[in-house]
Structure 1
């Protein structure tokens, strides 16, 4: 499970580096807040606030820094789009699905129609964009629909993008780049509220500025108690085999299935990462009733 040679981590700017009398180094910061001491032989491997992995020692240092949220990965290479399949759970709303699929052009996409009331409209959008359609006869909810799509995936990585989300292929490929770390099972971007309206209403502007799905600008190793304790399932990229091994999403949950998945992965010893330098856009609710229902 060693990090690949050349993998680089950079100590965060908000972490204090304090030299010790014996030539070592103390780092203060992270999330939760901590102090970590490096002996002189390890401190010598921190060059310009960076550690580049090339042996067992630098691998250990890099992992400790990442796990403590003292450092973030740097200079990751995007994954090959051919290694990625996108699952889009859909229930009606063909106009949003159309926008979602247009943004995913060039990627392999499976749309799971979760027993829409107007399945022909959904099927027409899927056909027009050249995606694969998996139509369910019973409504399973987003978690169940994602699991149905996951069972059809044959690629190394799988992305989940909700039908009211637009995510560029390069964003998903860069997210998958985090999975070069063999411990990382799941990674998510900053999900920002968006409206296509020229003059959004007040409640739409609220979610564009402070969406409950936007988890801040701080990159993080995600786990309970850290600065970021969960990731929204609106947009995620995962290692296919690992996700299957933990049973995918909890199919009996209609809400909170994303929190549950993150916590189960962390409990099983996997790493989940939040990468806010990459952004996906989530369409805000267009009515006060829908907005209040979402908040409730």
Structure 2
């Protein structure tokens, strides 16, 4: 059963994102329209929901969580815009809509991604928390987004494309810990930091988030094989076509499903110290594993 708070948090995140994005009627209109196309046309909002759920554990101020949720989703959106470019994954479909470079043009897509990244830190810098916490929030998101996180993981992914079968499982896990897991871990941390979580609390949440990030990617790999483009909202079957390193390719379908089960248990164990107060995080972990898109 879904936690009723998730729907309210998603609406809150969508409203905060719409407020943060520039007016589409103000110049440069084409750039602003591309930014809104990248952010507002759907999406699971997993990362903002993680911010709210983690912050709720520590009764964080919702205005602070709005800023953190918006910032992490803007970073995610920028990464998807650039990931879809011809120089990277060269995809024409995202969230059931034309990708930004298809709907607009390649140069506009690059600028839109750059502008979304800058906007994320502008929003986060205005988070209504004390200065020391704000600096920690900025450092957390910057580290997760750069060479030690998402961008580094994307570089490893590009290097492995075309020779995915040569990668070890450990190397694949490291790749996805950076590409996918770093931003998920940051989302959980941002929410918890807004509520002044202790270092011990953060360690439990990091363990949960690390398992969630890997589970999210294993499920993605399975969906690329078992799903269809209409349901996924993006092109299915591209991993195999591009000879990408995936968990099903390296360990097989059944072992991948078993790995999901083990990661689910890891998440449950990590959240156990929080009891029923972590129910929303439990539900989000289950959604990541059971989703069909």
TM-score range with shorter-chain normalisation? under 0.3
More strand by share: 1
**Taking CA–CA contacts closer than 8 Å with sequence separation of 6 or more, which of the two structures ends up with the larger relative contact order?**
2
Q: Which has the larger radius of gyration?
A: 1
So what's the TM-score if we normalise by structure 2?
0.27
